[in-house]
């Protein structure tokens, strides 16, 4: 604190005011420091965690669907070969079941069906986000109240360019499931009163996995973060 300011304060308001000003001035940096520390802790908690190192399948394994194609890492991406019918990978480490986000990039390299079937936990139940299914353009959640992505309230139709990378983001909270392709929100599904499940074909993807259907697909930049 500036001493000339304190001297003037003493002449105007007496020693009591000076003590109060000195106490306030000395405590402000401590409060600011505590707030900064708390913010850093919150930011660290909300930070994205990479699930794929871009070079190996460490932390992942090929999903045993029966009839699956090859799984390999090439050019910084996981390649899901054409299966009969499904090819996929399971993440082998623990993931949260609520209040989290997943982000990844995916593309259809060849084929005409879904290139990203992301199976994920919603509290105690599984669900799948399907992109490009049923002939190439259907998107949505499988399943809501027993209805799959082609026939429930989340059903959307979209054209996907072969060879183009799409950024996919999924958010699961206690209240809803949301999903985006690039900047476009495609799912905003409330969980209140809804039964969440998956189709039996992707049971092997539980609890967290990504699959393609008779399609050569590529995945990269797979990340997850927990929400506050």
pLDDT tens column, 153-203: 999 999 999 999 999 999 999 999 999 999 999 999 999 999 999 999 999
Phi, psi (deg, nearest 5) at residue 11 = -65, -35
CA dist 228 and 42 (Å) reads 8
**pLDDT, the chain, mean:** 88
Show the tokens assigned to 161. Answer: 């360019």
Q: Comparing 18 with 46, which gets the higher pLDDT?
A: 46
Which pLDDT value is given to residue 116?
Answer: 98
pTM of the model: 0.81
Three-state DSSP class for residue 210: strand
CB atoms closer than 10 angstroms to residue 224: 20
pLDDT tens column, 49-85: 999 999 999 999 999 999 999 999 999 999 999 999 9
Structural contact between residues 225 and 95, judged by C-beta atoms closer than 8 angstroms? no
């Amino acid at each position: 604190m500036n001493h000339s300011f304190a001297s003037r304060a003493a002449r105007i308001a007496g020693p009591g005011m000076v003590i109060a000003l000195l106490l306030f001035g000395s405590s402000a940096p401590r409060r600011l420091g505590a707030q900064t520390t708390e913010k850093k802790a919150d930011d660290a908690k909300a930070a994205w965690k990479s699930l794929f190192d871009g070079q190996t399948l460490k932390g992942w394994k090929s999903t045993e669907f029966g009839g699956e194609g090859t799984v390999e890492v090439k050019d910084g991406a996981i390649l899901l070969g054409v299966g009969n019918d499904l090819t996929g990978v399971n993440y082998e480490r623990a993931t949260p079941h609520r209040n989290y986000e997943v982000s990844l990039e995916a593309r259809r390299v060849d084929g005409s069906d879904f290139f990203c079937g992301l199976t994920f936990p919603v509290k105690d139940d599984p669900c799948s986000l399907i992109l490009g299914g049923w002939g190439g353009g259907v998107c949505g959640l499988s399943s809501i109240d027993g209805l799959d992505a082609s026939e429930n309230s989340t059903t959307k139709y979209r054209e996907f360019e072969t060879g183009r990378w799409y950024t996919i983001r999924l958010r699961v909270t206690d209240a809803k499931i949301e999903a985006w392709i690039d900047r476009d929100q495609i799912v905003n599904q409330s969980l209140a009163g809804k039964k969440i499940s998956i189709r039996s074909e992707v049971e092997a993807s539980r609890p967290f996995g990504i699959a393609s259907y008779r399609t050569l697909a590529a995945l990269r930049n797979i990340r997850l973060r927990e929400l506050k």
